[in-house]
Amino acid sequence: MNFTFRNKKISGILTILPAHEQKFVDDMKNFNFSEARSLKLKQVMGYDRHRLVTGGTCASDLAIFGFRHLFDQELLAPDSLDGLIVVTQSPDYFMPPTSNVIQGELGLRHDMLCLDINQGCAGFVVGLIQAFLMLEQDSISRVALVNMDVLSRKVSVKDRNSYPLIGDAASITIVEKSEGGAPIFANSKMDGTRREALMIPAGGFRLPSSPETAVLEDVGDNNFRAKDNLRMDGSAVFNFVQIEVPPMIESLLALAGKSVDSVDWFMFHQPNKFMLEKLCDKMKVPYEKMPSNIVEHFGNASGVTIPTAITFNLGDRLRAESFLVCLAGFGVGLTWSSMLLRLGPLGFGGMIDYP
Amino acid sequence: MDPFYSKLAEILEVEEVGENSQLDTFPAWDSLGVLSVIAMIDSQYGVNLTSLDLVEIKTPGGLLKLVLARKGG
């Protein structure tokens, strides 16, 4: 499905990372693999260190910390928000919505629309699409899009498939109306028949958590995880990405009437270096135009990886410069979605540590 | 010998693999090895295999046969 938006822009991006860092060489002591094979994995996938929350820190704690920073620095006025979208798969509760939790903690005004979206790796693009749709309303001029996840709390430390790549983080992206500027193009696709490739099987209403769902099982490939844990079918996800993403980008660029060469940056979701380089090869995109350094520095925090890639790689440049940027998210659902937009100059663009 | 076997040997971190070697005897034939092989087959042959496809495959010769069959189809 294609989307076109006019007179809208991203005006600021802040990434919030937990200060606690863990190293892959320490993680690998928990894996049931030889040291040589784990080091090979580190090299191929580009694993090195990742940022994880400690104790009972929730995703909303990171987001609230980020908002307070923006308010304190006078980069954002609390009363200027007409909408708050929270994209997460690690909500504080089943009910109420975590967007309402954040709105309440920050003391934002009542006259606004708060919305939770359950999305993962495609959550930045899906969230932007939702934010732009809201901005079509006369009464909505500025929306805060929050992407946040602390999925490390759901991953087994004995699962070499998922643990080394997982990261926790949050981002706050401010989206608002603007006069003129180039149209923004986007597309999205969904395939719920392949939903089991990435899932947390237990803990919802279909399979409530119980002592049985907490038992670590050898799942047949030397990885141990429980039904309460996140599970990922690595090769199914790899194939999904290699098959579906290149034609999606081709179709997005055709919709926009742009060539691969005209795009300054391909800011894609960051599953690992390996997968992104294979995508570059397929799409004939030079590696230097598609940063793939987020997993090695911070880990993969699902929907937060694109804002992290933008703020880490472009940072202060975005205060003054502007780039034609192609975004793409792909993962849980399965969902794959992309967007082409001119990004910058931004009012703010940076990264902070929590706490 | 088909260049497929030398590419496979490289991923499995051995000097060479035979048509009838047993894949599950290579230490590097783990989830990472399988993924690397899937990626190599995708880039070199344009064929997308899943780990499920590989469950039945016991030897490099069997794997090459599957790749060529998929490519032909």
pLDDT in tens, A216-238: 998 777 889 999 999 998 888 99
Tens-digit pLDDT profile for residues A1-19? 999 999 999 999 999 999 9
Phi-psi region of A353 (alpha: psi -120 to 50; beta: other; left: phi over 0): beta
* Cα gap B19→A227, rounded to integer Å: 39
Query: What is the value of ipTM here, to two decimals?
Result: 0.83
Q: Note whether A243 contacts B28, CB cutoff 8 Å.
A: no
Supply the pLDDT for residue B73.
62
Chain B residues touching A223 at Cβ < 8 A: 31
Chain A residues touching B34 at Cβ < 8 A: 235
Ranges assigned E (strand) in A178-301: 184-190, 198-199, 217-218, 224-225, 231-232, 265-268
Tens-digit pLDDT profile for residues A290-306? 999 999 999 999 999 99
Nearest CA in chain B to A161: B31
Q: Note whether A235 contacts B30, CB cutoff 8 Å.
A: no
Q: Note whether A278 contacts B43, CB cutoff 8 Å.
A: yes
Determine the CATH number of domain A1-355: 3.40.47.10
The residue ranking higher by pLDDT, A130 or B53, is A130
* Total number of domains constituting chain B: 1
Chain A residues touching B38 at Cβ < 8 A: 235, 238-239
- Compute CA A355 distance to the chain's CA centroid, rounded to the nearest angstrom: 20
Nearest CA in chain A to B27: A37
Report how far apart the first and last C-alpha atoms of chain A are (Å, whole number).
40
Size of interface A-B (CB pairs under 8 A): 50
Chain A residues touching B35 at Cβ < 8 A: 234-235, 238, 274
Average pLDDT over residues B54-60: 90
CATH code of the domain in which B54 resides: 1.10.1200.10
Q: Does A196 touch chain B (CB under 8 A)?
A: no
| Residue span of the structural domain in which B28 resides | 3-72
Chain B residues touching A161 at Cβ < 8 A: 31
Query: Buried (b) or exposed (e) across A311-328, using 16+ Cβ within 10 A?
Result: bbebeeebeeeebebbbb
Across the interface, of A44, A242, A281, the residue whose CB is closest to B36 is A44
Q: Give chain B's contact residues with A (Cβ, < 8 Å).
A: 13, 27-28, 30-32, 34-36, 38-39, 42-43, 48-51
DSSP state of A137: S
Q: Note whether A235 contacts B51, CB cutoff 8 Å.
A: yes
User: What pLDDT band is residue A138 in, cutting at 50, 70 and 90?
Assistant: very high
All residues at 6 or more sequence positions from A249 whose CB lies less than 8 Å from its CB, including other chains: A283, A326, A328, A338
Which residues 319-348 of A have a C-beta within 8 angstroms of B? none
Tens-digit pLDDT profile for residues A245-289? 999 999 999 999 999 999 999 999 999 999 999 999 999 999 999
Which amino acid, one-letter code, is at B61?
Answer: G
Paired strand residues for A351: A15
pTM of the model: 0.94
